[in-house]
């Protein structure tokens, strides 16, 4: 689990929650809602994204609403991790609560391209594009957050702890 | 070293009586709120956590985003939330208004820690409470435990001096501050509005300002409670604990705003921090004008707009939507004759709720332009991805509705 490999979907700065999942779709059941992810900006995204893909974006990813549906639709579509220059506060916390690794990485956004095969080492914080010999350092998530992510989110983390 | 008001509230609410910025506290929650936009996910997470509320008397379920039910899916969500809140004996607000206005009318007091599953929960800082928006999982955890872990935020002090000029409003101030800081300029931090100018801003205006703190990325916006706050609380029959920042409190940043030098501001599509003086966009044609939302749907906002619209008619090619933030605001507006003014001017009155701000009504088609008194102008939030939304004060919205283009309220 500590290393993630996936194909990159590239996004810009300030991808807000109304881009990730527009307000009008929030009351759809999640398996219908997920088909609307990123619709205003990239309507092809939901249909073409594959399980294990990774989003690389600029600054303030997930700004706006507190809607947990935003990370939830990305998770439902199989997004394995999100690498961004920075994240909005509520989105960051929501993503971890759903077990999605969110990696703050200053350098990747400028150099990583759509379709690149990316490798993320969660333990060391290293982000690489092996084919192009690119390597970036990121802010490593603290161990207690990695544990939550490993368990698949806060709820499974708490309930599995309760059981053991 | 002195403490900021936020450090004091979070110290008071946790076992760490000396909490400082950067430390993590497990804070006791005074009230927890959820709504119909995210309620289903919250209930789902809550049930997985065991489904036992920590204190039903301190939990509010508020149906506001899709009320009355706009689709079958909304009806499903509403039924689920009604059944859920009744089963647990939680407060249910079904046809009452926007969650934040309802929380302020019914529950919140200075010094409280309030958690809501809506990003604009930060509004309650207007009366000196610490309040912040969270997602459904964190909301469910607060619902089950009455506690939430929080990193005590650093505070940016926005020092206010002077007094706002005529035709310039608290909305103009917060748009200016967001434009200055940027949409991520206060991420993880609190925005404290203090200084001699703070006392000149009404409690309603403070709600407008704190409401939009999240648009700069902030965890909370806050004013120190004062005599204005006391008056507001006395009307509601509540008291609260009045914290103030120490003179030697530590801030991560200072921003000084001379209120007397500020003019009307407008946030341009598609980012709230894209704020400019109204002169720069004056003359922009509009098809829709909206007054409402948890930002500017209060009685004071309606009085301001009605003063402009009284005896006049909106431009024939403009639709105007007016949405009271709550039933209480609606009733007061009826009593004062403001609703009659709006209808006579050609506006349509929508039921209290999130309304057009959330794209629940008043959707825009490709190329259409709306000016609104709400809080977000994100692409596709209010309709077609190539529609445009400008944010402004209720007065700027009202003068623009009359002329069919964005206008400077100082010239009317």
Contacts of B378 in chain A (CB under 8 A): 16-19, 64
Nearest CA in chain A to B385: A40
Section A7-34 average pLDDT? 96
The mean per-residue pLDDT over the stretch B282-293 comes to 98
- The verdict on a CB contact (< 8 Å) between B76 and A23 is no
Mention every residue, 6+ apart, whose C-beta is less than 8 A from residue B378.
A16, A17, A18, A19, A64, B270, B271, B389
Question: Of A125, A116, A81, nearest to A8 (Cα)?
Answer: A116
The pair of three-digit structure tokens given for residue B78, joined into one six-digit string: 């509403």
Interface probe, candidates B43, B74, B135, chain A, greatest A C-beta count within 10 A: B135
- Would you kindly state where each structural domain of chain B is located, as residue ranges? 5-14+21-259, 267-411
What's residue B118's pLDDT? Answer: 98
Q: Which of B355, B358, B278, B347 is nearest to B323 (CA)?
A: B355
Mean pLDDT across B208-223: 98
Q: Does residue A162 carry a pLDDT above 70?
A: no
Q: Judge whether A65 is closer than 8 Å to chain B, CB to CB.
A: yes
How close is the nearest chain A Cα to the Cα of B74, in Å?
6
**For the stretch B287-308, what's the b/e string if a residue is b when 16 or more beta carbons lie within 10 angstroms of its beta carbon?**
bbbbbbbbbbbbbbbbbbbbeb
| Structure confidence at residue B412 (pLDDT) | 84
Give residue A1's pLDDT: 57
**In B19-170, which ranges are E strands?**
24-28, 31-35, 59-62, 91-93, 113-116, 130-133, 147-151, 155-161
User: Which of B71, B76, B217 lies closest to A60 in CB terms?
Assistant: B217
Report how far residue B219's alpha carbon sits from residue B239's, in angstroms, rounded to the nearest whole number.
24
Q: Which residue reads 């309760």 in tokens?
A: A162
A66/B133 Cβ within 8 A: yes
Contact B169, B263 (CB under 8 A): no
Distance CA A48, CA B52 (A): 41
Once rounded to an integer, what is the mean pLDDT over residues A6-34? 96
Out of A14, A24, A65, whose CB is closest to B271?
A: A14
ipTM metric: 0.94
Tell me what pLDDT residue A38 has: 98
Peptide bond into B68 cis (omega under 30): yes
| Residue A155 touches chain B, beta carbons under 8 Å | yes
In tens, the pLDDT along B324-354 reads 999 999 999 999 999 999 999 999 999 999 9
In the numeric block, which tokens belong to residue B61? 């379920």
Q: B299 pLDDT exceeds 80?
A: yes
Q: Where are the domains of chain A?
A: 3-163
Residues A67, B219: C-beta atoms closer than 8 Å: no
Hey, what are A143's tokens?
Answer: 């161990």
**In Å, how far is A15's CA from the nearest CA of chain B?**
10
The pair of three-digit structure tokens given for residue B127, joined into one six-digit string:
């009366």
Q: CA of B324: how far to CAs of A37, B179, B232, B351, in Å?
A: 31, 27, 19, 7
Per-residue model confidence as pLDDT tens digits over B28-80: 999 999 999 999 999 999 999 999 999 999 999 999 999 999 899 999 999 99
Query: What is the length of chain A?
Result: 164
Per-residue pLDDT reduced to its tens digit, A36-89 = 999 999 999 999 999 999 999 999 999 999 999 999 999 999 999 999 999 999
Percent of chain A residues past pLDDT 70, beyond the cut: 97
DSSP conformation letters of B81-101: HHHHHHHHT-EEESSSB-HHH
Q: What is the pLDDT of residue B74?
A: 95
pLDDT digits (tens, 9 = 90+) for B362-392: 999 999 999 999 999 999 999 999 999 999 9
| Sign of the CA dihedral running B38, B40, B41, B43 | positive
Second CATH level (architecture) for the domain B267-411: 2-Layer Sandwich (3.30)
- Nearest CB among B121, B140, B385 relative to A40 is that of B385
Contact list in B for residue A12 (CB cut-off 8 A) is none
**What average pLDDT does range B218-223 have in this prediction?**
98
Name the band, by pLDDT with cuts 50, 70 and 90, for residue A26: very high
Tokens of B337: 């004759």
Q: Quote the pLDDT of residue A139.
A: 84
B interface residues, A as partner, C-beta within 8 Å: 36-38, 40-41, 45, 48-49, 65-66, 71, 73-74, 76-77, 116-119, 121, 133-138, 140-141, 183-184, 187-188, 214, 217, 219, 271, 358-360, 376, 378-381, 385
Contact A90 B133 (CB under 8 A): yes
Pseudo-torsion of CA B250, B256, B257, B261, nearest 10°? 160
Indicate the pLDDT class of residue A164, thresholds 50, 70 and 90: very low
CATH architecture of the domain with residue range B5-14+21-259: 2-Layer Sandwich (3.30)
Neighbour-count burial of B86, counting CB atoms closer than 10 A to its CB (0-12 exposed, 13-18 middle, 19+ buried): exposed
User: Which architecture does CATH list for A3-163?
Assistant: Alpha-Beta Barrel (3.20)
Residues of A in contact with B185 (CB under 8 A): none
- Which structure tokens are listed for B392? 């402004």
Residue of B49, B135, B184 with shortest CB distance to A68: B135
Position B270 pLDDT exceeds 90: yes
């Amino acid at each position: 689990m500590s290393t993630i490999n996936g194909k990159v979907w590239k996004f810009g700065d300030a991808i807000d929650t109304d881009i990730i999942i527009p307000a009008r779709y929030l009351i759809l059941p999640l398996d219908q809602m997920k088909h609307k992810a990123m619709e205003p900006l990239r309507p092809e995204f939901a249909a073409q994204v594959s399980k294990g893909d990774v989003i690389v974006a600029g600054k303030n990813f997930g700004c706006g609403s507190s809607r947990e549906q935003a990370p939830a639709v990305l998770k439902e579509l199989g997004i394995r991790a999100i690498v961004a220059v920075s994240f909005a506060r509520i989105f960051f916390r929501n993503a971890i609560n759903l077990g999605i690794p969110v990696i703050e990485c200053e350098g990747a956004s400028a150099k990583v391209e759509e379709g690149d095969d990316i490798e993320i080492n969660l333990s060391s914080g290293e982000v690489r594009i092996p084919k192009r010999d690119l390597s970036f350092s990121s802010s490593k998530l603290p161990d207690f957050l990695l544990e939550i992510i490993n368990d698949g989110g806060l709820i499974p983390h708490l309930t599995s702890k309760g059981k053991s | 070293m002195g403490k900021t008001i936020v450090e004091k509230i979070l110290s008071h609410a946790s076992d760490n009586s000396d909490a400082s910025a950067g430390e993590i506290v497990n804070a006791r929650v005074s009230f927890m709120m959820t709504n119909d936009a995210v309620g289903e996910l919250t209930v789902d997470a809550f049930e997985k956590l065991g489904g036992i509320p920590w204190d039903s008397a301190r939990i509010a379920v508020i149906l506001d985003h899709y009320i009355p039910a706009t689709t079958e899916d909304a009806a499903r969500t509403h039924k689920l939330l009604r059944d859920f809140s009744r089963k647990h004996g939680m407060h249910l607000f079904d046809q009452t208004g926007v969650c934040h206005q309802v929380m302020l009318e019914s529950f919140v007091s200075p010094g409280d820690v309030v958690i809501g599953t809506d990003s604009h929960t930060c509004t309650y800082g207007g009366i000196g409470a610490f309040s912040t928006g969270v997602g459904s999982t964190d909301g469910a955890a607060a619902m089950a435990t009455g506690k939430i872990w929080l990193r005590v935020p650093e505070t940016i002090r926005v020092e206010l001096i002077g007094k706002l000029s005529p035709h310039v409003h608290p909305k103009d101030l917060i748009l200016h501050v967001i434009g200055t800081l940027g949409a991520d300029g206060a991420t993880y931090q609190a925005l404290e509005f203090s200084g001699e100018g703070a006392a000149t801003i009404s409690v309603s205006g403070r709600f407008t300002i704190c409401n939009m703190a999240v648009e700069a990325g902030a965890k909370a916006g806050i004013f120190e409670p004062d005599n204005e706050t006391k008056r507001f609380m006395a009307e509601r029959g509540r008291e609260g604990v009045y914290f103030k920042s120490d003179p030697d409190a530590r801030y991560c940043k200072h921003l000084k705003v001379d209120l007397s030098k500020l003019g009307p501001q407008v946030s341009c599509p598609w980012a709230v921090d894209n704020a400019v003086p109204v002169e720069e966009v004056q003359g922009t044609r509009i098809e829709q004008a909206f007054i409402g939302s948890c930002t500017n749907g209060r009685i004071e906002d309606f009085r301001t707009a009605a003063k402009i619209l009284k005896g006049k008619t909106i431009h024939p090619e403009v639709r105007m939507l007016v949405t009271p933030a709550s039933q209480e605001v609606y009733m007061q507006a009826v009593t004062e004759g403001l609703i009659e003014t709006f209808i006579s001017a050609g506006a349509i009155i929508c039921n209290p709720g999130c309304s057009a701000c959330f794209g629940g009504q008043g959707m825009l088609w490709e190329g259409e332009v709306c000016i609104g008194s709400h809080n977000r102008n994100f692409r596709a939030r209010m309709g077609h991805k190539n529609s445009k939304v400008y944010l402004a004060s209720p007065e700027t919205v009202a003068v623009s509705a009359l002329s069919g283009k964005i206008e400077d309220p100082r010239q009317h």
